């Protein structure tokens, strides 16, 4: 009996030491090149820092070529009997979307709609970066700078519904936002790099340098998907420069977070509130979902140029690939419908997204972010360093991953606002813009309180 107790005590001590020194040890910040050159060739002695107005144009040459390729596409194989979207994109439904793109989508009008905001380009670390900048007219209101960052396969287009909401004064708030909605490098109208290594960490650094270029030393950030990862690293590396971070895809992948997730599979109440337990457990459901839906992730994380080459020459194929992933991420429970979740978003918004990808030849450059995110050792060190930046999280029902605040606090030590909704999906700016913006306003109130309390 005494020997058993002694052995048990030794095991507890060893586990404690392991937890303290391995799982919870905070590594030193790696030395980072904050001005690494991503442009062609070597860094010049004098960089071009001019800011240039930009206008989105869907020109006739591109439109005619696109329509010709859509007209000349080969017939699709029909879905199996009784199947909807279980095997992937429903090709009968896809035909309807492509016909609309070919015959009814108003290219020029959609470009004009995108151009209702002021667009600009400037070169940052060698890359031509496109962004929208909207300054509000708000007498008697404080104007707060807000950087918006999207993910794959989006662009700043994803924010065109929420920009007017963020820049319109509300009686109940004494502040309003000046919005900078950016296209990440290799996405939308922003230039991609021909150099390896531009991962979400270095994208975060580049975005911080963009904001400094625009005159903002401190600012707020709202982001989802890969934009959220880039923003997370930005908060970790520059904690004194980010006034608050609002994310609709909060994730901690620290080692201790992974252990907590596993422990929660045995004792869920230790990790997650009972009313949200079904969003995390049983883990077998999560693994089944990942096995079903993550093949694209593995492909893009290992061989992005292969699938990029397969899609570059075919707008119909590119649309099928993109639409299927957007649908799943918008409602994971609509696999048994012809649209597979796509009808949660407006058709013109979907076609804006694929038209921007097609017109700018961004399918390969945008997918490379998946591969870059798993290459450099620096990024894995940064993952383990918590950030003190006040953070707000909003969790929509069909977001790809759900983590409880108990886990998220491993990375984000100052979560000041947390919202969990029974609606919405991954593309919140297009799907549930009002809910997203309402939460941003509420969160910024908490950010301001946090700073007033801690930095008097």
| Chain segment 229-250, per-residue pLDDT in tens | 999 999 999 999 999 999 999 9
| Chain segment 145-161, per-residue pLDDT in tens | 999 999 999 999 999 99
In the set 370, 402, 410, 431, the catalytic residue is: 370
351 located within any domain: yes
Domain count of the chain? Answer: 1
**Are 134 and 103 in contact, with CB atoms under 8 Å apart?**
no
Residue numbers of the domain that contains 183: 59-254+294-454
What pLDDT shows up at residue 6? Answer: 59
**Torsion-angle region of residue 193: left (phi > 0), alpha (psi -120 to 50) or beta?**
beta
**Are 156 and 130 in contact, with CB atoms under 8 Å apart?**
yes
| Chain segment 19-39, per-residue pLDDT in tens | 555 677 899 999 999 999 999
What pLDDT shows up at residue 18? Answer: 58
Q: What is each CA distance from 8 to 2, 21, 239, 382, 421, in whole angstroms?
A: 10, 20, 42, 35, 43
Q: Which residues of 81-108 are buried (b: 16+ CB within 10 A; e: fewer)?
A: eeebbeebbbbebbeebbeebbeebebe
Q: Residue 16's pLDDT band (boundaries 50, 70, 90)?
A: low
**Calpha distance 32→125 (Å, rounded):** 14
**Are 263 and 417 in contact, with CB atoms under 8 Å apart?**
no
Token match 């807000």: residue? 146
Count the Cβ atoms, other than its own, within 10 Å of residue 243: 20
Assigned token pair, 160: 């065109």
242-247/391-395 β-pairing? parallel
What pLDDT shows up at residue 8? Answer: 47
280 located within any domain: no
CATH assignment at residue 330: 3.40.50.1820
Is 451 annotated as catalytic? no
**Calpha distance 250→236 (Å, rounded):** 14
415-420/391-395 β-pairing? parallel
**Calpha distance 225→274 (Å, rounded):** 26
Q: Which of 268, 302, 308, 300 is nearest to 285 (CA)?
A: 268
Q: What percentage of the chain exceeds 70 in pLDDT? A: 95
Token match 């879905």: residue? 79
Q: Residue 417's pLDDT band (boundaries 50, 70, 90)?
A: very high
| Chain segment 291-335, per-residue pLDDT in tens | 999 999 999 999 999 999 999 999 999 999 999 999 999 999 999
171 located within any domain: yes
Is 225 annotated as catalytic? yes
What pLDDT shows up at residue 137? Answer: 87
Looking at every residue in the chain, the average pLDDT score rounds to: 94
26 located within any domain: no
In the set 160, 225, 349, 410, the catalytic residue is: 225
| Chain segment 196-229, per-residue pLDDT in tens | 999 999 999 999 999 999 999 999 999 999 999 9
| Interval 180-187 mean pLDDT | 98
The DSSP result for 198-252, as a single string, is --HHHHHHHHHHHHHHTT-SSEEEEE-HHHHHHHHHHHHH-TTTEEEEEESS---
Q: What is each CA distance from 14 to 21, 23, 266, in whole angstroms?
A: 10, 13, 21
279 located within any domain: no
Instruction: Answer whether the bond into residue 332 is a cis peptide, omega within 30°.
Output: no
**Are 225 and 150 in contact, with CB atoms under 8 Å apart?**
yes
Q: Which of 352, 324, 355 is nearest to 338 (CA)?
A: 324
0.75 surpassed by pTM? yes
Q: Which of 200, 144, 210 is nearest to 176 (CA)?
A: 144
| Chain segment 84-137, per-residue pLDDT in tens | 999 999 999 999 999 999 999 999 999 999 999 999 999 999 999 999 999 998
Q: Which of 293, 301, 298, 288 is nearest to 324 (CA)?
A: 293
Q: Which of 355, 296, 354 is nearest to 325 (CA)?
A: 296
| Chain segment 375-415, per-residue pLDDT in tens | 888 999 999 999 999 999 999 999 999 999 999 999 999 99
**Are 134 and 177 in contact, with CB atoms under 8 Å apart?**
no
230 located within any domain: yes
The DSSP result for 273-339, as a single string, is -GGGGGGT--HHHHHHHHHHH-HHHHHHHH-HHHHHHHHHT-HHHHHHHHHHHHHHHH-TT-TTSSS
| Interval 67-83 mean pLDDT | 96
Q: What percentage of the chain exceeds 90 in pLDDT? A: 91
22 located within any domain: no
Alpha helices by DSSP H, listed for 331-432, are 347-360, 363-372, 377-383, 405-408, 428-431
21 located within any domain: no
In the set 130, 202, 426, 431, the catalytic residue is: 426
What pLDDT shows up at residue 382? Answer: 95
**Are 301 and 308 in contact, with CB atoms under 8 Å apart?**
no
What pLDDT shows up at residue 247? Answer: 98
């Amino acid at each position: 009996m005494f020997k058993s107790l002694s052995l048990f005590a030794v095991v507890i001590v060893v586990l404690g030491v392991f937890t303290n020194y391995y799982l919870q040890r905070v590594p030193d910040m790696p030395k980072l090149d904050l001005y690494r050159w991503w442009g062609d060739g070597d860094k010049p002695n004098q960089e071009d820092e001019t800011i240039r107005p930009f206008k989105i144009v869907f020109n006739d040459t591109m439109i005619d070529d696109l329509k010709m390729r859509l007209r000349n596409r080969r017939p699709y194989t029909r879905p199996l009997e009784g199947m909807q979207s279980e095997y992937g994109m429903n090709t009968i439904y896809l035909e309807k979307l492509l016909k609309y793109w070919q015959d009814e989508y108003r290219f020029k009008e959609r470009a004009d709609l995108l151009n209702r905001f002021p667009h600009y380009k400037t070169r940052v670390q060698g890359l031509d970066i496109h962004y929208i900048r909207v300054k509000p007219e708000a007498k008697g209101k404080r104007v707060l700078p807000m950087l918006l960052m999207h993910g794959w396969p989006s662009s700043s287009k994803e924010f065109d519904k929420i920009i007017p909401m963020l820049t319109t004064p509300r009686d109940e708030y004494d502040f309003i936002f000046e919005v900078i909605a950016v296209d990440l490098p290799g996405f939308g109208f922003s230039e991609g790099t021909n150099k390896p290594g531009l991962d979400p960490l270095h994208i975060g650094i580049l975005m911080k340098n963009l904001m400094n270029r625009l005159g903002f030393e401190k600012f707020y950030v709202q982001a989802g998907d890969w934009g959220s990862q880039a923003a997370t690293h930005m908060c970790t590396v520059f904690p004194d420069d980010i006034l608050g971070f609002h994310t609709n895809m909060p994730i901690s992948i620290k080692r201790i977070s992974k252990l907590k997730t596993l422990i929660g599979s045995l004792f869920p109440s230790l990790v997650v509130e009972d009313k949200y337990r079904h969003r995390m457990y049983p883990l077998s459901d999560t693994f089944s979902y990942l096995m079903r839906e993550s093949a694209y992730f593995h492909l893009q994380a290992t061989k992005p140029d292969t699938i990029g080459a397969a899609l570059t020459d075919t707008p119909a194929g590119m649309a099928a690939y993109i639409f299927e992933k957007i649908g799943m991420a918008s409602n994971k429970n609509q696999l048994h419908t012809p649209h597979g979740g796509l009808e949660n978003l407006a058709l013109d918004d979907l076609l804006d997204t694929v038209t921007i990808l097609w017109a700018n030849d961004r399918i390969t450059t945008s997918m490379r972010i998946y591969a870059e995110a798993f290459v450099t050792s620096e990024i894995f060190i940064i993952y383990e360093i918590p950030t003190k930046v006040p953070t707000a999280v909003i969790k929509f029902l069909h977001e790809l991953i759900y983590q409880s605040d108990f886990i998220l606090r491993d990375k984000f030590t100052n979560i000041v606002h947390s919202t969990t909704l029974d609606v919405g999906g991954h593309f919140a700016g297009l799907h549930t813009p009002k809910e997203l913006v309402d939460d941003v306003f509420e969160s910024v109130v908490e950010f301001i309180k946090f700073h007033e309390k801690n930095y008097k």
